[in-house]
Amino acid sequence: MALREYLKPSPHGIPVVTDRIERRGIIVELVIVGVLTFAFSALSAALALLEAQLAGGIGETTVALNPSRSDLDLIDAVRQVMSGLRLFAIAALGVYLLWRSGIGLARVGLGRWAPRRDVPAGLVLAAIIGLPGLALVAVARALGLNASLVPSQADTWWEWPVLVLIAIGNAAAEEIVVVAYFITRLRQLGASDGASLAASAILRGGYHLYQGFGAGVGNLVMGLVYGRFYQVSGRVWPLVIAHAVIDVVAFVGYGLLRDHLSWVG
Of the pLDDT bands very low, low, confident and very high (cuts 50, 70, 90), residue 250 is confident
Structural domain boundaries enclosing 40? 19-260
Residue 198 lies in a domain: yes
Calpha distance 260→250 (Å, rounded)? 14
Of the pLDDT bands very low, low, confident and very high (cuts 50, 70, 90), residue 206 is very high
Residue 229 lies in a domain: yes
Read off the pLDDT of residues 168-179 as tens digits, 9 standing for 90 and up. Answer: 999 999 999 999
Read off the pLDDT of residues 102-132 as tens digits, 9 standing for 90 and up. Answer: 998 898 898 888 899 999 999 999 999 998 9
Q: Pick the closest to residue 244 from 179, 176, 169, 151 (CA basis).
A: 169
Q: How many residues does the chain have?
A: 265
Question: Cβ(29)–Cβ(114) under 8 Å?
Answer: no
Residue 2 lies in a domain: no
Residue 14 lies in a domain: no
Read off the pLDDT of residues 55-72 as tens digits, 9 standing for 90 and up. Answer: 989 999 998 888 888 888
Q: Number of helices (H) and strands (E) in the chain: give both, helices first.
A: 11, 2
Calpha distance 129→139 (Å, rounded)? 15
Q: Give the CA angle between residues 208, 42, 38 to the nearest 5°.
A: 100
State pTM to two decimals.
0.92
Q: Give the CA angle between residues 125, 119, 193 to the nearest 5°.
A: 50
pLDDT of residue 3: 64
Q: What is the mean pLDDT of residues 140-160?
A: 84
DSSP 3-state helix, strand, coil percentages of the chain (rounded to 5)? Answer: 75, 5, 25
Of the pLDDT bands very low, low, confident and very high (cuts 50, 70, 90), residue 12 is confident
pLDDT value at 24 more than 90: yes
Residue 153 lies in a domain: yes
Of all residues in the chain, the percent with pLDDT exceeding 70 is: 93
Number of structural domains (the chain) is: 1
pLDDT of residue 18: 95
Question: Cβ(239)–Cβ(179) under 8 Å?
Answer: yes
Of the pLDDT bands very low, low, confident and very high (cuts 50, 70, 90), residue 256 is low
CB burial of 12-37 (b: ≥16 within 10 Å; e: otherwise) equals beeeebeeeeeeeebeeebeebbeeb
Read off the pLDDT of residues 25-46 as tens digits, 9 standing for 90 and up. Answer: 999 999 999 999 999 999 999 9
Residue 38 lies in a domain: yes
State the Rg of the chain over Cα. 19
The strand ranges marked E within the chain are: 62-64, 148-150
Residue 9 lies in a domain: no
Residue 4 lies in a domain: no
pLDDT of residue 157: 79
pLDDT of residue 151: 74
Calpha distance 57→163 (Å, rounded)? 29
